[in-house]
Structures are given as structure tokens and as C-alpha cells.
Amino acid sequence: MQPRSMVMAVLTAILLLVTSGHPASEAEQATPALPAPTLTVAQAANQTPPLVEHTVQTGDTLYALAGRYNTTIEHIVNRNPDVNPDNLKVGAVLRVPTNTVIKAKSREELAQTADKMVLSSSGEPNLYSRKMPCKLTAYTNSFASTGKHPGDPGYGVTASGRLAKEGLTIAIDPSVIPMHSVVYIPGIGVRYAEDTGGAVIGNHIDVFYNDDHYAQTFGVKDNVTVYILEEGPKGES
């Protein structure tokens, strides 16, 4: 073996000896990180909505808070059973679920709150057909609202032929929002367009409630942006 070859062989042997006995670095010893788990749309939709604590300030209403936190009055009430929704006490702390709204494609699914849909950071539903500014009012089955008394023909029956139901029914102008449309109203939730009214004309939505006092104190809310999640058949009335 030539001297140069011998030197190279010795150097190679020394290098192999050193590297074979060298402990692995921390980076080499670290277990490769597993990829972050991913959630399907259905899994994400079924997660419990995050909660925030809100201290009631002068002038706060459940309607305003629902709009502010992209939730619904029903969700806030359900999380705070000891709170009187008609008399919020300044300083009280409310647990408010955020960014959730019920979405469904039919009256039955809506009544069963079948699916959940997360709102975007801007407060808009992820999917909707169109949006528009509307005037909101409230009504009940009372004579003042419908001109009918209990026992009268058609008492409590909507224009669709079904009984009016709180948390579900709204009255609309079919020339603006087709009957059987699914509508999201910020601060109120998702409702089903299944009733009409002589005073409900144009961009006007009348929200059905059981309680006369609540409907009276609801007042008139102008220029509320509502979202048509699913359009009903055109031309139905």
C-alpha cells in the first residue's frame, strides 16, 4: 500500500470510530412531530361553541349582545338560566356562546336543530344565497296581531297551513322573500318563512313569539342585515 493510501485509510478509520461513538444531537434524538389532527367539516360543526364572559353594562339587551357576539338570544338564555331576559342587571356576568347558529334545509330539520353552522369572523354565515336590509317587528297569535281569537277558524295557523311556532316562524312578503325560505337573522337565529301579513310589505320580517309582552317590547328594528340561507320555491304565497 502506498504511503498516501495508508494515510487515507487511517483517517477514514478514525473518522468512522469517532462518528460511531458520537451521541446523537437533541435534534437527531427528537421524535418527528406528528401532523396536526384535522377535523372534517361535520366534526368541526359539532364542537361546543366557545364561551366568553360579558359583564352587563347600562343599556345592554340580549338582542344587542346576540348581535355583538354572533350568537342568538336563545343560546344566551340557555347558558344563563338564572338571568331574567327582560331585566338584565348591570354588573351581572353572562356566559355567552359565540359564533354558532342553527342551519337546516326544512321546517322539520330547523325545529330539531339538526345542524350547526359556524359564522365567519365578520359575523356572516359561511354559506348563504343573498343578504338584504330588513325591518324587524314581532307578533303573536293575539287578536291585536292576527285579528283572531282562540276558537276562531284559522287561529294560530300560518299562511303555509301550519301552526305558528316560536323559534321557527316568521312572516314575510313573498314577493321579497319566497315562502319556505330559511332565513338567518343576527341576534335572533335561523327562522322559517311560513307566514304572511297585511302589514308585512317589502323588506319587512315579522318574528313570531308566544309571549305578548315580549312581542310588544321587541319594538321596530330598522336596517338589520338578514341572510337567506336557502330560497323557497319562487312564486309561492
CATH number of the CATH domain containing 174? 2.40.40
Contacts of 1 (CB under 8 A, 6+ apart): 9
Q: What is the rounded CA–CA span in Å between residue 123 and residue 70?
A: 6
**CA 177 and chain centroid, separation:** 20
CATH classification at residue 67: 3.10.350.10
Provide the b/e sequence for 27-42 (b: ≥16 CB within 10 Å).
Answer: eeeeeeeeeeeeeeee
Q: How many CB atoms lie within 10 A of CB 183?
A: 26
Cβ proximity of 53 and 95 under 8 Å: yes
Provide the b/e sequence for 141-163 (b: ≥16 CB within 10 Å).
Answer: beeebbeeeeeeeeeeebbbeee
pLDDT in tens, 128-175: 788 999 999 999 999 999 999 999 999 999 999 999 999 889 999 999
With respect to residue 18, please indicate whether it lies within any of the assigned structural domains: no
Q: What is the rounded CA–CA span in Å between residue 70 and residue 51?
A: 12
Parallel, antiparallel, or unpaired: how do β-strands 204-208 and 130-139 relate?
A: parallel
pTM: 0.58
Whether 85 and 115 share a structural domain: no
With respect to residue 32, please indicate whether it lies within any of the assigned structural domains: no
Whether 152 and 194 share a structural domain: yes
pLDDT in tens, 33-85: 333 333 333 333 344 556 778 899 988 888 888 877 777 787 888 889 888 88
How far CA 131 is from CA of 120, 124, 125, 204, 225, in Å, comes to: 15, 10, 10, 13, 7
Please identify, among 60, 82, 98, the residue that sits at the C-terminal boundary of a domain.
Answer: 98
Whether 113 and 154 share a structural domain: yes
